[in-house]
Structure 1
Amino acid sequence: MDNNKKRIIALIIFLLGIFMGAIDSGIVSPARDVIKNGFGISESLSVWMITIYTLVYAVSMPIVSKLSDRYGRKRVYIISILTFAIGSSLCGISNFYGNYTFFLVARVIQAIGGGGIMPIANAFIGISFPPEKRGTALGFVGGIYGIATILGPTMGSSILSTAGNDHWGWIFFINLPISLIILALSINLKENLGEAKSRMDLKGSVVLSIMILSLMYALTNLNFGDLSKSIQDTKVYPFLIIFFIFVPLFILVEKKAQDPILNLSYFREKQILLTLILGFITGVGLMAVTFIPQFAENILKLKTGTGGYLVTFMSVFAGVSAPLGGKFIDKYSAKLVTVLGMICTAFGTFFLAFYTTKYPNFASIMIGLIFVGFGMGFTMGTPLNYLMLSFVDEKESASALSTLSLIRSIGVAVSPNIMINFISEAGQKVQGNLMAVMPKITIPAYPGAGKTTIDIAKMSSGGKLSSGALAKLQSADATNIVSVIKDFAGDMIDKIIPGLKGRMMESMGNMPKGAASHIDFNKIFSGLKADYLNKIDAKKEVIEKTFQSTISAGYKNMFITAGIIAIIGLVAALMLSNKKKIKAKNI
């Protein structure tokens, strides 16, 4: 078999691994409530099925990657695939046998395997393909990773729809045939590097693991919208303290290590540091995409849960631009592709912020998503992996790429806590803004008093709303906001009628004896509720626009922030050099 065929088979092996590992980060999200209900656990406990995977994945990346640099990438990659397959099998089995603790242990095993897949695959491809084809090969990696990451939640929902909620284990069993194909194809794969001349940096591995765990857990629980209060939370500040205490200890340990787990020189060399900064920025941008389905649902008045298809469209654009960017790298430079990606991302996010929110329609949102999709494809790994490999010795390629992945993971951890605050702030304004455009309740005239009106906005702020009606209002979308408001108003009117009757009786107390006995209170209040609900129907368009504009204001600020981050990334990209020094290694 010639080298070209070997490289194609190797590319398939690693693309399958990357696809399998990438979809798993999102495929569990839509199943979380289903799994939670299956185990009968609380909401707070259910979060750990995702959190524990994220934490262990982040910890395992640098350690497993270092092992692959020392003992051989093929060997460690195959072990990673096996570990991931075993963890996936155990996760699926826990659907039928086992408990939540068993399931979390299985997720840990799965994360350990997953942590070795991405950096090893990128390193193997990066030094195995000749310079004139390397960008194209890494481009396919970026495309597959982008598509898999974005489609993960959609695939999870599809599997649940097919297998049924009682058989959620199939979202994990789906990994088994992919793993078997990878293992079968790996038989003829040639070993790639592997030098174990010095001791493994065990001390550094332990200290780095503690640092990563404490930082990632703190960032996951940090609320940037209320930073001063959030940082005092026991789920945040103790772990930040641990992180900062261990930083100087880690530096001391790594300076003495013969073969450090993390090369500190990466943070001293300008070009590598710029690449790591860009990795953090792309991590932040990647997670901002998770809010696009909700944004689309609000803009296009779609029912909650149906906006995911637009993410599918965007993944197509990302999937096309990633290999295209790889070809541009081969022909021009990684710097050019990175700059182009940041420009597309900035334009797309600013377009969504300033144009789509003002002119909410399918065409306007698609234009923005096309540019964001192309921006993601151009920046999601391909040029950054290429740059990272060009700045380090090939013997450190896997550990260098794991460092980049780790920094990107930190960006992923930070992003939701930043972005969600804009949406939450908008959500808090919904009730007040809607009440401001609500019609007033008109109380019919009765003996002793003329016609009066009641401002429902003042009443709703007085805490007279039932928790059920308030919950419906908070979970409303653009398609049902009017019906929810009608339930809201009906609940309010039911609450105030007894009080109004009481005040009427009191005001009639000074009337001549017997004068109030013939007053029919039921007649006075009959039709009051129906008339008011009809007034709400008449203001349907105003209410819907108010709801949309209020929510869109939150998304607008979020996209502006994402655009500013992309501009910072553009500045960093312009400071990159076009240095190339990667040598191809035969497979």
Structure 2
Amino acid sequence: MIKKNQTLILILFMLGIFMGAIDTGIVSPVRGLIQNSFKVDQNIGTWMITLYTLIYAISMPIVSKLGDKYGYKKAYVFGIATFGIGSLLCGISNFYGTFGFFLTARAIQALGAGGIMPIANAVIGNSFPEEKRGSALGLVGMIYGVGNILGPTLGSSIIDMAGSSNWGWVFFINVPISLIILILSTSLKNTKASTERPMDILGAIVLGGVIGSLMYALTNLDFFNFTESIKSTDVYPYLIIFVLLTPLLISIENRAKDPVLNVKYFKNKEMLVILIISFIVGIGMMGMIFVPQFSENVLRLKSGSGGYLITLLALFSGISAPISGKLIDKKSARFVLLLGFTFTICGTLFLGLIATESLTFISIFIGLALMGLGVGFTMGAPLNYLVLKTVSKEESASGLATMSLMRSIGLAISPSVMIGFIVEASKTLQTKLMDAVQSSLGATTSGMPINPTNTNTDVFKSLQNADITTIVDMLKAALESILPSQIKPMIINAIDSVSNTIIDTFQSVINYGYRNMFIAAAIIALAGLIATLFLNRKCEKPKVS
């Protein structure tokens, strides 16, 4: 059955993968619009991302195990239908709902999304003979990588067409795609992967608690202020819950006849290395999110316009992903991962060390091209291929879900790590801006200091939201509210004459943060490359039982 319908299977499941991939980033450009429409502050508004991430991570291994047990078609149809309903409700909440209704819809959407990716990868991977499996998974990697990267750009484009007050169309776009997939899926037969063993319900419940507590704690942990951050009630209670539940989960899963999470994965050397690499890839992926803001700062572009440069990442990722599949078939998944991490290291170092100094489009283009090639080689095909080669066919979906879960945990850690470099650099912004203005206007002010003694005043917090095109006006507004009256008119009128100095200083400070962030991303990629060296060179199939 499967061999005769390979084209239909590819179309059917890659549509779902693309839909799920774009949704991870499509919400980013409209997050502020959604917050404002419901009149909630930023701390409450972040739950639209946090809740989705938590439910998605929890649902992946559970829905995937249901797929292994009751059939992949049933699990996939459940995932698509649930995702479509959640998307519809999210869109409706734009016009008729409350923020609580919207969050409930997001939770439904995330529950469905958790059953799409692992199931699709398992079916596609097992539908092709081993000599063609890499090529098929390479196409999957291309769709996933391009969709993931283009999500924010697509979100911005939809808002441009529909209008900022109609953000619900960002979610409505998923509804027709879901319907097409559901219609196409009627021609597929349901295939069961495992024997009739009782569902591990207790394990699923405890696993949900373990994943949820860990992900929530990591989401709120500030790695650059670790000592104080870990004392927060949003962090340490959940880490305690994670620590208490983990041994309980191990005990339950060791006794279960058909565990929802096979702890033996972590005892098998090959599978453990795959999971570690997945975790590293998850951390490194977040560096892509900051490309638009980085490009805007380097090229002095208006805020929001840098998002279109992310298409360069998508373009080169789309080139390398299918190539990675063919290289897997001809060489090995290990070779492709080494190649991918090498490209990523070169790309991130080029952006951090060259682009931040040369300040040219060509330097950003080269860096993003290298980085995009690296993403295409590492994100999809090789890890999926290795999991399918390592675990038994009966556990394909749950094995892939475990790998995706580790990547999601890396994604949860990454924002706190990556944004920390920008925040740390920004701490010197006020002082350096004041010093630059004082130096440039020294003669004008007759030696009078314009850097007030109350440098910790809240008015300077507004500079945290400045970009390279607004920093001059925002600095003028901040100074106007705190300068002594005898020098205020003189300084405010003179600021425009030193605007280039202000912009240069702002650019230099923020670029220093990006420089360190991309160097850190290169180090993370290096860790991935080193971990890859521990993979089985002969790609023999270890038994995980």
TM-score, structure 2 as length reference: 0.95
Matched, 1:560 2:519: yes
- What residue number does 1:83 align with? 82
1:454 partnered with 2:414:
no
> Paired residue for 1:116?
115
Q: Which amino acid aligns with 1:455?
A: P
Q: Distance in 2 between matches of 1:545 and 1:296?
A: 15
Matched residue, 1:576: 535
**2-structure distance, mates of 1:40, 1:129:** 50
Tell me the residue number matched to 2:380: 381
Following superposition, the deviation at residue 479 of structure 1 comes to 2.4
Alpha-carbon distance between aligned partners in 2 of 1:33 and 1:398, rounded to the nearest angstrom? 36
- The amino acid across from 2:454 in the alignment is G
Does the alignment pair 1:529 with 2:519? no
The letter for the 1-side match of 2:501 is V
The corresponding residue for 1:103 is: 102
Summarize the Cα distance change of 1:163–1:242 in structure 2 as closer, same or farther, 3 Å threshold. Answer: same
Q: How big is each residue's C-alpha offset from its partner over 1:340-396, in whole Å with a ceiling of 9 and x where there is no partner? A: 000001111111111111211101111111111111110002100100111110100
* Residue pairs, 1:98-247, within 5 angstroms: 98-247=97-246
CA contact (8 A) 2:193 2:393 kept: no
Shift of 1:141: 0.9
Gaps spanning 5+ residues in structure 1: where?
445-450, 498-524, 583-587
Question: How many Å apart are 1:491 and its aligned residue?
Answer: 4.5
Report if aligned partners of 1:318, 1:375 keep a CA contact under 8 Å in 2: yes
Contact 1:297 1:303 in 2 (8 A): yes
The one-letter code matched in structure 1 to 2:386 is L
Name the CA shift for 1:481/1:73 in 2 (closer, same or farther; >3 Å).
same
1:338 aligned residue: 337
Tell me which of 469, 486, 508 is aligned to 1:479.
469
Counterpart Cα distance in 2 of 1:435 and 1:49? 37
Aligned length: 540
Could you tell me how far apart the structure 1 residues matched to 2:443 and 2:500 are? 25
Cα 1:3/1:208, change in 2 over 3 Å: closer
After superposition, the Cα gap between the structure-2 partners of 1:227 and 1:129, relative to the gap in structure 1 and judged at 3 Å, is same
Structure 1 length normalisation: TM-score?
0.88
Q: How does 1:360-375 map to 2 (within 5 A)?
A: 360-375=359-374
Kept in 2: contact 1:439–1:536 (CA 8 A): no
Work out the CA distance in 1 between the residues paired with 2:102 and 2:464. 33
| Structure-to-structure mapping, 1:276-425, within 5 angstroms | 276-425=275-424
What residue identity is the alignment partner of 1:202? I
Does the 8 Å contact 2:2/2:127 carry over to 1? no
Is the 8 Å Cα contact of residues 3 and 128 (structure 2) preserved in structure 1? no
1:36 counterpart residue number:
35
Query: For residues 546 and 177 of structure 1, do their structure 2 counterparts lie closer, same or farther at Cα, with a shift above 3 Å needed?
Result: same
Q: Which has the larger radius of gyration?
A: 1
Q: Which amino acid letter does the alignment assign opposite residue 227 of structure 1?
A: F
SS in 1 for 2:447: strand
Distance across 2 between alignment mates of 1:4 and 1:247: 41
User: Would you say the 8 A contact 1:341–1:378 is kept in 2?
Assistant: yes
Shift in Å, 1:574: 1.4
Question: Structure 2: 5+ residue runs without aligned partners?
Answer: none
Change beyond 3 A, Cα 1:473–1:95: closer
The 8 Å contact of residues 123 and 397 in structure 1, kept in 2 or not, is answered as yes
Letter in 1 for 2:301: L
Name the stretch that deviates more: 282-291 or 187-196. 187-196
Cα deviation for residue 464 of structure 1 reads: 8.9
String of CA shifts for 1:268-318, please: whole Å, max 9, x gaps: 111111111110111111111111111111110111111111111111111
Q: Secondary structure at the match of 2:428?
A: helix
User: Could you say what the CA RMSD is over the residues aligned between the two structures, in angstroms?
Assistant: 2.0
1:21-100 to 2 correspondences below 5 Å: 21-100=20-99
38-47 or 71-80: which moved more?
38-47
Does the C-alpha gap of structure 1 residues 466 and 574 become closer, same or farther in structure 2, counting only changes over 3 Å? closer
